[in-house]
Amino acid sequence: MFRKIIKFIKLVLFALLLVLGLILIYDRFFSYKNIAIVHNNQNVRNIEIFLTDNNVAINNIDTSRMDTDMCKRKIEGADGVIFAGGNDFDPDIYGGDRSLVEEYSREDDEKSLELLDYCIKENKPILGICRGMQLINIYYGGSLYDDLEKQFSKEIIHRGSDKTLTYHEINIRGGTSLSKIVKSDRIEVNSYHHEGIKDLAEGLSVSATSDDGLIEAIENPYYSYMLGVQWHPELSYENDKYSKKILKDFVKHSNAGKN
């Protein structure tokens, strides 16, 4: 009788190890999630590389080339949506100054806002990067500085004079989702933007600020998963553990709004 019990236990353990092995193999070699990247004719190759390396299927959605219905169809089956960096916004949307902005498209802005609205109604996990973070703020009723140097401060250079990346540190607020992700209260980030959040929309929370007081990250504490960062983690994740943590956390929580 004792031998039969031992044999049964061995069989159970073997079965458990077999199942675990199959799960690990599937997780390593097969895509099990699909993430949509929404952008306006931008280079999103670095985001694609990260997702591919993490066995995530990609829906590349270029709003400058696709109509709204096509974009929505591609978003529909996505487990999460990244709103990537890109052009400026038409300042008329939030009461800004058109003379201070660079390239923009009102048609594309309105399409991006409609797609964000669709994602929210479908409860899709959302990560906003640079323009994507600003999009979230505008959607909820916030505004932007059209030109940081002219309207805000020159204390920190947020974009090089020849439109190159710069770097500076940011302060992360305790108790926020971002703080729980990176597990640090101060990190260095890359920076490539001349616009920034001016008035934070009602309902959103500040996750991080730079030393000059500019908002660098936001989140919606009333939504299943919505994080916006002003920098580009996809450009730094190979050498920066904090950027990698942010991207990996988003992938982890991307599950078609079933949080």
Q: What is the largest CA-CA distance in the chain?
A: 87
User: Would you say residue 120 lies in a domain?
Assistant: yes
User: Would you say residue 8 lies in a domain?
Assistant: no
For 56-82, the DSSP string reads: EEEEEEETTTS-HHHHHHHHHT-SEEE
The single residue of 130, 168, 193, 195 carrying the catalytic annotation is: 130
pLDDT tens digit string along 196-214?
999 999 999 999 999 999 9
Active site residue 232: yes
The single residue of 158, 168, 193, 232 carrying the catalytic annotation is: 232
Range of the domain at 181: 31-253
Q: How many domains does the chain have?
A: 1
User: Would you say residue 2 lies in a domain?
Assistant: no
User: Would you say residue 141 lies in a domain?
Assistant: yes
User: Would you say residue 244 lies in a domain?
Assistant: yes
pLDDT tens digit string along 44-91?
999 999 999 999 999 999 999 999 999 999 999 999 999 999 999 999
Residues pairing with 69 in the sheet: none
Q: What pTM did the predictor assign?
A: 0.88
User: Would you say residue 21 lies in a domain?
Assistant: no
Q: What is the pLDDT of residue 259?
A: 42
Phi, psi torsion values for 125, nearest 5 degrees = -60, 135
- How deeply is 217 buried, as exposed, middle or buried, from its count of CB atoms within 10 A (0-12, 13-18, 19+)? buried
Whichever domain contains 150, its CATH number is 3.40.50.880
User: Would you say residue 50 lies in a domain?
Assistant: yes
Q: What is the pLDDT of residue 82?
A: 98
Query: What amino acid is encoded at 149 in this protein?
Result: E
User: Would you say residue 259 lies in a domain?
Assistant: no
User: Whose CA is closest to 132, among 73, 193, 176, 177?
Assistant: 193
Give the span between the Cα atoms of 215 and 109, in whole angstroms: 21
Tell me 158's DSSP state: S
Q: What is the pLDDT of residue 161?
A: 85
